[in-house]
């Protein structure tokens, strides 16, 4: 009996799973169990643990047809262009296209395959592309979960770039960069070297208003805020970094309370 759970097409890789014959293994284990019970004189139990670390679907279910992949990438590039047009960053359009294709490869090689409570593909491709454009001398990360963003920073920056990783708990970290210095305290207790081209990623679930004051005080030019939730969706995060940047913008624009 062949157990087929997934669909296979020439356009999409669906879970990288091949049909498996489970009957042979099952019959063998039953015979082994019966023989051991008879030989030992008492019953034994044989169980096979099939639980494996779960991968995000982006690693196991993804497009493989070239036209689909090319169109997907062009849509991503256009979204990045729209963002860049509002910034002061100088960029080359052909290079941006190359960064998106490069990210797709980097993402596929990630040592972290499960991104719950962290960056995924969409956040990652923006972050990776902007890092390539900025080409920073220093990157600061405040808050690390499993290390996926550290992996992206390591891949996107040149060898002389210095990375400073701050967190009060590194027990979930799964990737260590040779470029990085790991600091087991809050960033406010040990300020790193700040250079002109310094990028900071704030992913620490600490008040983004406090972090905004910090980056202004130390003149950190390029800043990325994760979990930037509005008042409408702060309930979706178990530990929202309130007030967030979006919440502060709502207050500034008078959206905090309904008008009468």
pLDDT in tens, the chain (260 residues): 444 445 555 666 665 555 444 445 666 667 777 777 777 666 666 555 555 557 888 888 888 899 999 999 999 999 999 999 999 899 999 999 999 999 999 999 999 998 877 889 999 999 999 999 999 999 999 999 999 999 999 999 999 999 999 999 999 999 999 999 999 999 999 998 898 899 999 999 999 999 999 999 999 999 999 999 888 888 888 788 888 999 888 887 776 554 44
Question: Which sequence spans correspond to the domains of the chain?
Answer: 1-52, 57-226
What is the rounded distance in angstroms from the CA atom of residue 227 to the CA atom of residue 166? 17
Q: Which residue has the tokens 């491709």?
A: 125
Q: CA triplet 221, 226, 229: central angle to 5 degrees? A: 115
- Whether the model pTM is above 0.85: no
Q: Which CATH class is domain 57-226?
A: alpha beta
What is the rounded distance in angstroms from the CA atom of residue 57 to the CA atom of residue 198? 33
Residues 62, 113 contacting (CB under 8 angstroms): no
What is the rounded distance in angstroms from the CA atom of residue 147 to the CA atom of residue 51? 23
What is the rounded distance in angstroms from the CA atom of residue 55 to the CA atom of residue 16? 11
């Amino acid at each position: 009996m062949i157990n087929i759970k997934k669909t296979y097409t020439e356009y999409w890789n669906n879970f990288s799973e091949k049909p498996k014959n489970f009957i042979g293994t099952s019959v063998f284990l039953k015979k082994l169990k019966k023989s051991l019970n008879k030989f030992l004189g008492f019953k034994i139990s044989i169980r096979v643990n099939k639980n494996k670390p779960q991968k995000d679907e982006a690693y196991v279910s993804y497009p493989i047809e070239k036209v689909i992949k090319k169109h997907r990438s062009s849509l991503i590039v256009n979204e990045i262009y729209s963002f860049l047009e509002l910034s002061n960053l100088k960029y080359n359009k052909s290079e941006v296209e190359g960064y998106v294709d490069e990210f797709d490869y980097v993402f596929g090689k990630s040592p972290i395959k499960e991104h719950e409570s962290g960056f995924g593909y969409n956040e990652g491709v923006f972050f990776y592309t902007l890092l390539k454009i900025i080409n920073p001398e220093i990157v600061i990360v405040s808050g690390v979960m499993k290390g996926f963003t550290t992996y992206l920073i390591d891949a996107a920056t040149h060898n002389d770039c210095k990375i400073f990783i701050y967190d009060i708990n590194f027990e979930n970290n799964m990737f260590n960069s040779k470029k990085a210095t790991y600091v087991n305290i809050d960033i406010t207790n040990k300020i790193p070297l700040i250079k002109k081209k310094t990028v900071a990623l704030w992913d620490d679930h600490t008040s983004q208003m406090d972090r905004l004051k910090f980056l202004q005080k130390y003149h950190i030019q390029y800043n990325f805020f994760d979990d930037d939730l509005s008042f409408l969706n702060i309930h979706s995060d178990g530990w929202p970094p309130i007030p967030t940047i979006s919440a502060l913008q709502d207050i500034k624009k008078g959206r905090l309370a309904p008008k009468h």
